[in-house]
Amino acid sequence: MKKWIFISLALSVLVLGCLSSQSNDTDPGKITLKGLEFYTTLGPALEDAKVQDKPMFVYIRSEYCYWCKKFEEETFTNQSVIDRLNKDFILVSIDTDTQMNEVKNFMVRGTPTGIFLDPNGTEIKRVPGYRETEIFLNIINEIAR
């Protein structure tokens, strides 16, 4: 009996920890990944992109994707990437497990996938799969020009 109580308690702590690391108390329509704040829905992000006249970076990911976690750990912690994304893009994160309609609409077949949109929502460039930090930085620098 004590074993089951311990397992239940451990699972509860694990789930709550995962939820708190992804939430943003100031705005429930956003999440923070490694210091970058992402919208979680396209509508408000598109409005913001139009108002600020900035392209969007739509990051399609999964909680269970090894390459997504590797990309986030390596690339979303690089200060040059953080600075460029924060300055020149409106960021959106789409979770394949919970936002299946959006994934279907973007015709995404795997994660991670990055899709760059202009302020009107027209696709500029698609980057399927993992990219090393320097390669990704070159891509975002090219789009931000």
Q: What is the pLDDT of residue 13?
A: 37
How far is it, in rounded angstroms, from Cα 129 to Cα 145? 23
Across residues 67-92, what is the average pLDDT?
Answer: 95
Predicted pLDDT at 1: 54
Residue 113 belongs to what domain range?
Answer: 26-144
Percent of the chain with pLDDT over 90: 65
The arithmetic mean of pLDDT across residues 13-36, rounded, is 57
Residue 86: inside a domain: yes
Which residue's entry shows tokens 């390596």? 74
The stretch 48-68 carries a mean pLDDT of 95
Which domain CATH number covers 132?
Answer: 3.40.30.10
Residue 103 has a pLDDT of 83
Average model confidence (pLDDT) across the chain: 83
Q: Which residue has the higher pLDDT, 46 or 145?
A: 46
Measured distance CA(52)–CA(47) in Å, rounded: 9
How far is the C-alpha of 134 from the C-alpha of 8, rounded, in Å? 43
- Please check the confidence at residue 100 and state whether its pLDDT lies above 50: yes
| Whether the predicted pLDDT of 145 surpasses 70 | yes
Whether 134 is covered by a domain: the verdict is yes
Mean pLDDT of the region 114-139: 95
Look at residue 139 and tell me if it is in a domain.
yes
Question: Do the domain assignments include residue 16?
Answer: no
Tally the domains of the chain: 1
Q: Which residues pair with 92 in a beta bridge?
A: 39, 58
Model confidence band, residue 27 (pLDDT cutoffs 50, 70, 90) = low
Give the pLDDT confidence score for residue 28 in this predicted structure: 63
Identify the pLDDT of residue 7.
Answer: 45
Q: Which residue has the higher pLDDT, 117 or 33?
A: 117
121: which DSSP letter?
S
